[in-house]
Structure 1
């Protein structure tokens, strides 16, 4: 539920009475509250889902305007993307959604590293949305820094070489932009919601420290993130946060 609300909150400015509609859903996420889907909560969920898939959140593409492609990949799990466009709605500029796409990784793809999975996500999204993006000017937003160098990367990896060739026709009109993971919830939500978020828990006892793992699943723990969102961290950030963990000498 936290994942769904985080995803929906990204578009809250385009959903009338969002706070009022989601009151019962947010209460469900409170501490010590029994997870019970009553009719009121089910209706609220369906109402938000309807709003996310209809105007004014969902819009028709204007091929004269530039677009924004938000992509995200989870190692060993899924791929997700959202195609946005900024249009004039009711006399005001507003960023709406043209479409959402997502899929699970194949068994062979689940063995890819983080960079390879991010590159796969970009190529897959471009292929799926080619009718919108071929010949159009667009920006790609990702929280994988290595993806920015894919176009000019020198590599002997056959997958990377094939993907470089696949995106050549988009090079002129495509700009890849890095975006912090905590701001990337619109793309993150497509794959993270259907999956059980697997966490690392840290337990401190009077004279000992024990760490219990509950199937991490390729995601950094909430403890290291320091908030309720699960995001990809850069290596430098992860090291800094990990150094702050308590330990016994």
Structure 2
């Protein structure tokens, strides 16, 4: 799973790696993205990345539950966020909400130059309005 976040949006790519005839293939399972809510726009870089990790795990729970997986990010401090001894109360809630993944989740740092797939998703995330909050544009009843 590759994740990326910024002040504009959140994006992730979920893939499965397979080895066939001694060749490694990466198969796409899904892409997800969303815009940043107004209250979230006030967060710093660390909370935004951690918020996205939590949102991503909740959204992709069906695919990740019981599986061993890597979370690939271009920010090295996401790993340190998981090991913080003391944190803000919002981040503490987020820490608790992802505990079920702790034994199965491995955080991997990948350079921003290599980490391109989810980068484009978060930059083109849908606006987080009631019409688009679930990742698609809903038809309004008139």
TM-score by length of 1: 0.48
CA contact (8 A) 2:11 2:125 kept: no
Q: CA deviation at 1:186?
A: 0.6
Which of the two has greater helix per residue? 1
Q: CA deviation at 1:89?
A: 5.8
Which residue of structure 1 aligns with residue 59 of structure 2? 128
- Tell me how far apart the structure 1 counterparts of residues 43 and 104 of structure 2 sit (CA, whole Å): 28
Could you tell me which runs of 5 or more consecutive residues in structure 1 were left unpaired when the two chains were aligned. 1-68, 196-249
Matches within 5 A, 1:111-190: 111-190=42-121
CA change 1:171–1:178 in 2 (3 A) is: same
- Tell me how far apart the structure 2 counterparts of residues 171 and 115 of structure 1 sit (CA, whole Å): 19
Could you tell me which runs of 5 or more consecutive residues in structure 2 were left unpaired when the two chains were aligned. 127-142
Q: CA deviation at 1:137?
A: 0.3
Which of the two has greater strand per residue? 2
- Tell me how far apart the structure 2 counterparts of residues 178 and 162 of structure 1 sit (CA, whole Å): 24
- Tell me how far apart the structure 2 counterparts of residues 95 and 157 of structure 1 sit (CA, whole Å): 37
Which residue of structure 2 aligns with residue 71 of structure 1? 3
Cα distance per residue 1:130-186 (max 9 Å; x no partner): 001111000001111211012220224011101110111000011001111111111
Count of residue correspondences: 126
- Tell me how far apart the structure 1 counterparts of residues 60 and 87 of structure 2 sit (CA, whole Å): 28
- Tell me how far apart the structure 2 counterparts of residues 78 and 93 of structure 1 sit (CA, whole Å): 31
- Tell me how far apart the structure 1 counterparts of residues 77 and 94 of structure 2 sit (CA, whole Å): 14
Query: Secondary structure of 1:149's partner?
Result: helix
RMSD of equivalent CA atoms: 1.8
CA contact (8 A) 1:80 1:188 kept: yes
CA contact (8 A) 1:109 1:117 kept: yes
